[in-house]
Amino acid sequence: MVTVLLTGGAGFIGSHVAEHILRGTDWRLVFLDRLDCSGNLGRIAEIKGWDTYRTRCRWVWHDLKAPISSQLAGQIGPVDYVLHLAAGTHVDRSITDPMSFVYDNVVGTGNLLEYARQKVPGRFVYFSTDEVFGPAPAGVAYKEWDRYKSANPYAATKAGAEELCVAYANTYRLPVLVTHCMNVFGERQHPEKFIPGTIAKVSRGEKVTIHANRDRTKAGSRFYIHARNVADALLFVIDKGEPGEKYNIVGEREVDNLELAQLIAEYQGKPLRYEMVDFHSSRPGHDLRYALDGSKLAAMGWRPPVSFEDSLKRVVTWTLENPRWLIP
């Protein structure tokens, strides 16, 4: 039976990846997590069927800023694959405290790569971000190996960790695969994020802030994708991907934040009160538009299993039925 080491499994995306693996395969999971401000075991406990799945799971507490010792490796046990999702991800915090992101994202990834090249015979998937490429001008969608232009320390540390992965693939022949993902949403997401925050504000009749250009005429846009589709893509990459390669995981269409807020209000049957705000030109490190080219995975046969609209409807309904996840 396959055993996967999943870092950051108590995080938002990690918990959905765990759920997808547990419900769709017979694999075992070893969760490696430090359970800080972004980790929440409640996400795992709410996986449907968890009481049955838990027999296939083990937890190991560790902060990847420290190397994985031989004793800790013994606690982890034999592993076939590594899915490395643990990371510092908050752009604002990376601007105020950049060195913590260097330690978490670059040093932490280096420590995990060192462990993997000695202990793990199978594939190592590094989960990166569209932000390594920086803002995308209108009409531009970045391919996997395009140049990087990080706009903030968070993005730079993710790019640095990617380069470590490439180096380990080239130097040690470690079977590394890198994915870039765009903005992810779904159930159990922290309310500081745009979609759950907008759901909450619309439900309370509050004004929603829409990040826009300098003239406040064009809202920022993303290719939003549900976490369940991301999890499906990661398993596809493990199965079909080529070691040493990079893969973009992209939603099926671009959506600007005003349209997104209008859909959220429509699904609630409530009016949208909003204000366009020149956020990106006045604050460093934040970009109006990100865009990735998803044709590489598409040519290999992967498509998002659930559409954006269906995913968003489900998330709005689920969030309103589970308001405890809207508590900051």
From 104, 131, 232, 256, the catalytic residue: 131
Contacts of 17 (CB under 8 A, 6+ apart): 6, 9, 83, 85, 227, 230, 231, 234
- Sequence-ordered strand ranges (E) for 25-76: 28-33, 57-61
From 81, 126, 142, 154, the catalytic residue: 154
Distance of alpha carbon 50 from alpha carbon 41, whole angstroms: 12
Answer yes or no: 51 catalytic. no
For helices 227-240 and 12-24, what crossing angle results, to 10°? 60
From 19, 33, 104, 130, the catalytic residue: 130
Answer yes or no: 252 catalytic. no
Answer yes or no: 26 catalytic. no
Token pair for residue 77? 């046990």
Count of residues making up the chain: 328
For 192, 219, 228, 303, the CA distances from 259, given in Å and listed in that order, are 19, 9, 22, 23
Active-site positions read: 130-131, 154
